[in-house]
Structure 1
Amino acid sequence: MDELGISSRPLLIMGRGWAVYAGPLEPGRPHRHQATQLAWCGDGTLLLEGAWGALEAPGHAIQAGVSHRLVASQPVRMVFEDPTLQAAAYSTSPAPAVAAMTEEQAAHLEQQLSRWLQGPQLPTAHSPSHPAVPRWQSVLHWLEAALDGPLRASDAAQAVGLSPSRFMHWFAEMSGLSFRAYVRWLRLQRAVRVLADGSTLTDAAHLAGFADSAHLTRTFVATFGVRPAPLRAARIVCDDRSKPPLTVQGWSLTGVA
């Protein structure tokens, strides 16, 4: 048992637009994904590799879309947050692509996550008030309902009453991602949720809209640096809440890149 009271069996909690992972870190490849990420070790340091070189620190904050590789010999904690949860609250000052945590910051995150895991309540998070949020929620509901089949931007545009060209511009503004990249991100989330139900990789691939298990595996490796198969040994918990236990926003970190 470690500080969080988690056994050697990995724990993965999948929320709506966020995820928490605690457990061993499988050696992986450089990868990039469509989520902002906090990663730290309960004890010791975590090595972060990327275009900036190698950075060793108690923990790191990594912005969406940044290619990186994490290396650690001890269990890690990772919090992934879909950047669209902050869509109406983007700062005019862009955050650094990669930032290092101090020991105090990593310890504070450890305490926050431990408290969250021991109780049902999530901390209060920012509630966007942007006038476009209702439309954004509409398109997210439409995407989730149509995720098991082919998805076209023109159909999504029609569903929310926008022209295809206006929709693509609006979608990029709201999500910070292209329509295709965001759909791929949603498909991966759906696949993990299906795996949590005990389904095979093949079933997860088909239910998430991938051509086959090989297509799912290739996409998963490119996004997370590791294969999805080991997740079947993890304890996976699905959570319908849309507020993550921790957020990248509000952290004063030392920028590296």
Structure 2
Amino acid sequence: MPTHTSKLADTRLWFGELGIDVGFAFFIGQTGDNQSHAHWAHQCIVRLDQPLSLFNAGVRFQDDAIFVPAGVEHRLIAPRHLSLFFDPTSRLAKALCDHLNKPLSVQTLPQKIADFFRAALTQANSSQDLHQHCLSYFKHHRMASTSDPRLAIILQRIHQEIGAENTKRSELAQQIALSDSRFSHWFHEQTGMPLRSYRKWLRLILAFKSILNGSSAIDAAHLAGFSDQAHFSRTFMAMFGVSPHSLLPNLTLKNGSAKN
């Protein structure tokens, strides 16, 4: 339920477990200090302990389960909770949005979906397990809307180039017989974000996984194609509302999470 407010003091540290799969991730734990931020993933936040609070555009939402669309600025204060992150280009994300009245707005997550996420968490031993539970659930209830078949072609090429030199936008446009300007509009229509933002998000996730698997921040930044560690840190802060050195030391990869 939304209420207007200003700020809520919070001095707790981040800690918890993280699982990452292709186009999907989850976090189980507690939030610490964080600034208003916007990441390029749909987020479902489910209470596991005390009530959670989310701040968006001067409004405070307090609920047991909240949906935050990709690209929407917010700040989260939550005791132990489950956050699930869905790449908006994925079939799973599209199926999830089919179950929401206004998938472009912050809103209460339907009770039956929140209950499913809690139950699935007790049955999953890894991010892959939880991902498969989600796929099975949404496939059973409703099939996702059909995407433009050209999108899969473009996304495959983009994913293959993470951390390497990127194909120019004009070349991607030519691959599916669109002009440069039309391609920009088309990609935004299909994914909800600009091409540059999506590529930056994928690089950030690659660096994130690399650090959790033991790489130094500077090595991870270079692996993911950031110009330097400072560039990586600025991007990380903008998308997660906290610096890498404040968040990552207290996170552990859940057993069975993707290592590549």
The answer, yes or no, to whether TM exceeds 0.5 is yes
The answer to whether 1:227 aligns with 2:258 is no
2:121 to 96, 113, 119: 113
5 Å-filtered alignment, 1:18-97, equals: 18-72=24-78, 74-86=79-91, 94-95=102-103, 97=105
1:112-148 CA-partner distances (Å, limit 9, x unpaired)? 2222337947231446573633x32222221122222
The answer to whether the 8 Å contact 1:42/1:107 transfers is no
Corresponding position of 2:151: 136
Cα distance in 2 between the residues matched to 1:48 and 1:88: 23
Q: Which amino acid aligns with 1:113?
A: L
Cα distance in 1 between the residues matched to 2:248 and 2:169: 31
The answer to whether 1:197 aligns with 2:213 is yes
1:159-211 CA-partner distances (Å, limit 9, x unpaired)? 44543233222211211111111111111111112223211111111111111
Q: Which amino acid aligns with 1:44?
A: Q
Structure 1 spans left out of the alignment, 5+ residues: 1-7, 241-257
Q: Which amino acid aligns with 1:177?
A: M
Q: Which amino acid aligns with 1:30?
A: S
- Give the number of aligned pairs: 231
Give the deviation of 1:71 after TM superposition. Answer: 0.8
The answer to whether 1:12 aligns with 2:28 is no
Inter-CA distance 142–29: structure 2 relative to 1 (3 Å threshold): same
The answer to whether 1:99 aligns with 2:107 is yes
Matched residue SS, 2:125: helix
Matched residue SS, 1:39: strand
Inter-CA distance 117–221: structure 2 relative to 1 (3 Å threshold): same
Cα distance in 2 between the residues matched to 1:71 and 1:174: 31
The answer to whether the 8 Å contact 1:58/1:102 transfers is no
1:153 to 162, 169, 173: 169
Q: Which amino acid aligns with 1:64?
A: A
Give the deviation of 1:69 after TM superposition. Answer: 0.5
Cα distance in 2 between the residues matched to 1:162 and 1:12: 39
CA RMSD of aligned residues (A): 2.9
Greater RCO structure (CA 8 Å; 6+ sep): 1
Q: Which amino acid aligns with 1:202?
A: I
Q: Which amino acid aligns with 1:212?
A: D
- Of the structure 1 ranges 142-151 and 20-29, higher mean CA displacement relative to structure 2 is found in 142-151
Inter-CA distance 159–198: structure 2 relative to 1 (3 Å threshold): farther
Cα distance in 1 between the residues matched to 2:116 and 2:55: 24
The answer to whether the 8 Å contact 1:63/1:97 transfers is yes
5 Å-filtered alignment, 1:226-245, equals: 226-229=242-245, 230-236=247-253, 238-239=257-258
Q: Which amino acid aligns with 1:239?
A: A
Cα distance in 1 between the residues matched to 2:57 and 2:172: 36
Q: Which amino acid aligns with 2:123?
A: R
